Structure 1
Amino acid sequence: MRRSGLATTLAAIALTFGGCAALPKAGPSTARAWITTGDRSQLLAEQGPSTFMEVDDSASAPLLVVDAAERHQTMVGFGAAITDASAWLIQTKLSPQQRDQLMGELFGRGEGGLGFSCTRVTIGASDFSLDHYSLDDAPGGAPDPELKSFSIERPAQYVFPTVRQALAINRDLKVMASPWSAPAWMKTTNSLVKGQLKSEAYPVYAEFFARYVKAASKVGVPTDYLSIQNEPDFEPENYPGMRWSALDRARFFGENLGPVFQRERIKTRILDWDHNWDHPEQPLAVLADARARAVVSGVAWHCYGGDVSAQAQVAAAHPDKDVFFTECSGGQWSPKFDESFSWMMSKLIIGSTRGGARGVLMWNLALDEAYGPHAGGCGDCRGVVTIDSRTGAVERNQEYYAFGHASRFVKPGAVRIGSPAKVGDLETVAFLNRDGGRVLIVLNGGQTPSAFAVADGGRRFRATIPARSAATLVW
């Protein structure tokens, strides 16, 4: 990350606090700020600490009121998926020293650490695997109703060691697991690609999930959250996938998964949907089923269709259910840093959390210089970081900086508090950490710098943020 001194800050197009002198350390009466500009001249660059002032005249600039008495969801945190591709790169293309440095930077809360506190793993292969497989590939594709061929050997190679290292770095880390497909012998296509779950396979698939959760736990990998199907309204052409209707998912939750997890005393929380914003009627249909509703603890969302407002629509209908945002990928279809950075800040960091998300996840934690490895699917997706498979050099992408504006400062257990959704070109979201610290994230999505004032109770300060830039303010 680049840092700038106070003189540089005041001279350049950085966030500035009117009339405030720099202090060596932020205290109860000071605010600190970090900024990323769309032109990349500053990347999570820290500004000088600034003293709060009593400002009577706030009419000259938009006022952003932070209200700690207005309480919303409690945060699990921010992070990215440890896919097969990500774990393979981290474990095989980095030296032990490089690996420790990168993992500490992504999951640690020390100097320069992003503090990622949630991740997602795949149960079997996704498109970002080296090949297609499930955790129960019986010889010859034969049915295996007793799950004699069940094995966690594949994730134990690269994914589980990576997760365990992340857990050792950050004890707050929560792990979500999702399958892209049931084992082929359970499906109508007898293939990992396309198809649906056979009705007669429902009972054994519930046992499969219980087997996975218990086996992963035995090797030190918890399953805090589980979705039963990644993107159940989509059948990919060339990588594992499975269509699963809302009514059939509801039946599986109520008749199969719920009873098995209860019998096995599994406390993993179940998330439905795990797909785009464009079909809120699907999770609503699942939650309309009383037996399914008793099993499902929340709804997971992706970014590839629809609008983030769908989260709030479902949450309003079921305020007792959690909201999670579990997948979005950047890629070369949006290569310009300022455009994709601003979109992620607006829709994922600000929009998704304002829509109730307790956790927000990007897709691949790491990919290589050729946007892989992958086995089908997306050929130009970006990871949060890019690892050069030839040298181990790490490039930090716009996803890194967008998520860093939240993950580094909003701690697990923080509560989202009141702030304006939008004032002119400014979008905001605010949080209260358990230690009483406030975090305000501000995006200026406009084409010109924007001055504003921040109010927290009787305290005030003024600031200016450049165009196409984001700032995190902490006090």
Structure 2
Amino acid sequence: MRILAAAALLAIGAAPAPRTAEAWLTTGDGKQRLARVALTPPAPNALRIVIDPKQRFQTMVGFGAAITDASGILIANMKPAQRTALMRDLFGTAPGQLALGFTRLTMGASDFSPTHYSFDDMPPGQRDPDLRRFSIQPNRANVLPVVKQALAINPRLVVMASPWSPPGWMKTGDALIGGTLRPDAYAPYARYFVRYLQAYAAEGVPIRYLTIQNEPDFSPDSYPGMKWPAADRARFVGRHLGPALAEAKIDTAILEWDHNWDQPQQPLTALADPAAARFLKGVAWHCYGGDVSAQARVHAAHPDKETFFTECSGGGWRPGWQAGFSDAVRNLMIGSTRNWAKGVLLWNLALDPAGGPHKGGCGNCRGVVTIDPKTGVVTRNLEYYALGHLSRFVVPGAVRIAATTVSGVVETVAFRNPDGSTVLLAYNPGKTPRALAVTLGRSAAGLRLPAGAAVTIRMAPAT
């Protein structure tokens, strides 16, 4: 329900400015999921959470998940009415819709592809340095139609792309799996990026950001990938890709790293190269190792560079709501944004009940939604609700602002939207409920936050 300031916002020393406040709660057991709850006057012993709009940090791009081949196949092959309903729910911006504003594409195959491919495959032993065989045809049946529909629903959707491997003929080993980029392939690979960006732009899908290699310190043995040291990545960006994009008048921003929190020295090494730093817009991070605070350490060293969180998957290793929801809210929605992320992306937008389709790699990953390909029935997973606690309420252009957070007690993040509304996400990691008094200026709203629960509070602009 909508609660008026006079009833639900208690004056702190003076009459509060007229303000409305609303709250949405998800409990740690999943019994309540983005459920509307009432705010009350704060209890006398409540923990005070102070929101300070004067302290401003990064401007937000959005929240979302990757449209992998697996996601594209499952969504594209739904019955039209089911597909439209799901896509509107995911990308629509009306009240109650998830309002995803950020997505990631795989530039060629990942482990979540039914076949391993690039956009310029050649028979073993043959090469195509002039890219005469280049084509984005493998994306036309599934991925492109889904991305186009998402853009039609939400024209402000920001799209980024990441390759898992260059074409095999560009690599030592002449294969998509393993190896690394051959020195004589740096220039052709830069042109490959240009061709990809141009081809997608021609389809009405501008790619705003890209990384040059997914997880460049990992060489998987069952799906495309490769190791690519930081100094070599810097050389590629500074001497080849950056100049190639400039010459082609492509303004897509290049992000460095696209791997885990446990090796901040890798992006720092690349950013220390002056030629590369000229073209690197920021750094992208994954969740599978290390601590989210690494984002802030790299930001402190390079405050002029942007920070993005670009991949984390739920799965069978975090079964049930208690562990999975806690991790998604605490580390990703709150942790990554408090550590300067402008955008937050989960991994597969959609998977089937068996965690596929995939070829190699993760056999028990979980999508934001699960789609049964036989019936089209959609299950919204805990990641859907974790995303929704911010994606529904924090709009593109919002600015993160300061808010009290107490590690291990109540953890928070706050934003000021362009329309002047304020959004707070609070999570209780403890084992007992916690009474909160959320204060903004001269007003306060009270709430009893259950153990393991998250709440989003939205306050309208003062009038």
TM over 0.5: yes
Q: Paired residue for 2:87, among 92, 99, 103?
A: 103
Match of 2:61 in 1: 76
Structure 1 stretches of 5 or more lacking a match? 7-16, 22-26
- Residue 35 (1) aligns with residue 25 (2): yes
- Residue 343 (1) aligns with residue 327 (2): yes
Percent identical:
56
Q: Is the 8 A contact 2:6 2:18 kept in 1?
A: no
Match of 2:47 in 1: 62
1:265-414 aligned at under 5 Å gives the runs: 265-414=249-398
1:66 counterpart SS class: strand
The total of aligned residue pairs comes to 451
Q: Return the TM-score normalized by structure 2.
A: 0.95
Letter in 1 for 2:396: P
CA distance 1:386–1:18, change in 2 (3 Å): farther
Match of 1:12 in 2: none
Q: Is the 8 A contact 1:62 1:423 kept in 2?
A: no
Q: Paired residue for 2:73, among 88, 104, 115?
A: 88
Match of 1:249 in 2: 233
2:256 counterpart SS class: strand
Q: For residues 434 and 20 of structure 1, what CA distance do their matches in structure 2 show?
A: 24
1:467 counterpart SS class: coil
Match of 1:458 in 2: 442
Q: CA deviation at 1:220?
A: 1.2
Q: For residues 108 and 237 of structure 2, what CA distance do their matches in structure 1 show?
A: 20
CA distance 1:346–1:18, change in 2 (3 Å): farther
Q: CA deviation at 1:19?
A: 6.8
Q: Paired residue for 1:185, among 169, 187, 190?
A: 169
2:221 counterpart SS class: coil
Match of 1:432 in 2: 416
Q: Is the 8 A contact 2:124 2:174 kept in 1?
A: no
Q: For residues 141 and 129 of structure 1, what CA distance do their matches in structure 2 show?
A: 24
Aligned residues: CA RMSD: 1.8
1:231-246 aligned at under 5 Å gives the runs: 231-246=215-230
- Residue 195 (1) aligns with residue 179 (2): yes
Q: For residues 121 and 449 of structure 1, what CA distance do their matches in structure 2 show?
A: 40
Q: For residues 54 and 36 of structure 2, what CA distance do their matches in structure 1 show?
A: 28
Q: For residues 274 and 404 of structure 2, what CA distance do their matches in structure 1 show?
A: 36
Q: For residues 328 and 461 of structure 1, what CA distance do their matches in structure 2 show?
A: 33
Q: Paired residue for 1:148, among 132, 137, 145?
A: 132
CA distance 1:107–1:119, change in 2 (3 Å): same
2:314 counterpart SS class: coil
1:40-55 aligned at under 5 Å gives the runs: 40-48=30-38, 50=39
Q: For residues 342 and 95 of structure 2, what CA distance do their matches in structure 1 show?
A: 25
Q: CA deviation at 1:462?
A: 1.7
Q: CA deviation at 1:125?
A: 0.2
Q: For residues 421 and 207 of structure 1, what CA distance do their matches in structure 2 show?
A: 46
Q: CA deviation at 1:30?
A: 1.9
Q: Is the 8 A contact 2:124 2:169 kept in 1?
A: no
Q: For residues 240 and 106 of structure 1, what CA distance do their matches in structure 2 show?
A: 29
1:358 counterpart SS class: strand
Runs of 4 or more, structure 1, over 3 Å off, are: 17-21
Letter in 2 for 1:382: R
1:369 counterpart SS class: coil
Match of 1:10 in 2: none
Cα deviation 1:117-161 (Å, max 9, x = unaligned)? 000001110000011000001244511000011000011221111
Structure 2 stretches of 5 or more lacking a match? 10-16
Cα deviation 1:396-439 (Å, max 9, x = unaligned)? 00100000001000000000001023265110000000000000
Q: For residues 211 and 306 of structure 2, what CA distance do their matches in structure 1 show?
A: 13
Q: Paired residue for 2:116, among 124, 128, 132?
A: 132
Q: For residues 318 and 399 of structure 1, what CA distance do their matches in structure 2 show?
A: 31
Q: Paired residue for 1:166, among 150, 153, 176?
A: 150
Q: For residues 317 and 20 of structure 1, what CA distance do their matches in structure 2 show?
A: 43
- Residue 262 (1) aligns with residue 246 (2): yes
Q: Is the 8 A contact 1:18 1:463 kept in 2?
A: no
Q: For residues 353 and 317 of structure 2, what CA distance do their matches in structure 1 show?
A: 16
Letter in 2 for 1:73: Q
Q: Is the 8 A contact 2:52 2:403 kept in 1?
A: yes
Q: For residues 112 and 59 of structure 1, what CA distance do their matches in structure 2 show?
A: 33
Q: Is the 8 A contact 1:18 1:461 kept in 2?
A: no
Q: CA deviation at 1:46?
A: 1.2
2:98 counterpart SS class: coil
Q: Is the 8 A contact 1:116 1:407 kept in 2?
A: yes
Match of 1:11 in 2: none
Q: For residues 168 and 312 of structure 1, what CA distance do their matches in structure 2 show?
A: 35
Q: For residues 81 and 434 of structure 1, what CA distance do their matches in structure 2 show?
A: 26
CA distance 1:392–1:28, change in 2 (3 Å): farther
1:63 counterpart SS class: strand
Q: Return the TM-score normalized by structure 1.
A: 0.92
Q: CA deviation at 1:59?
A: 6.2
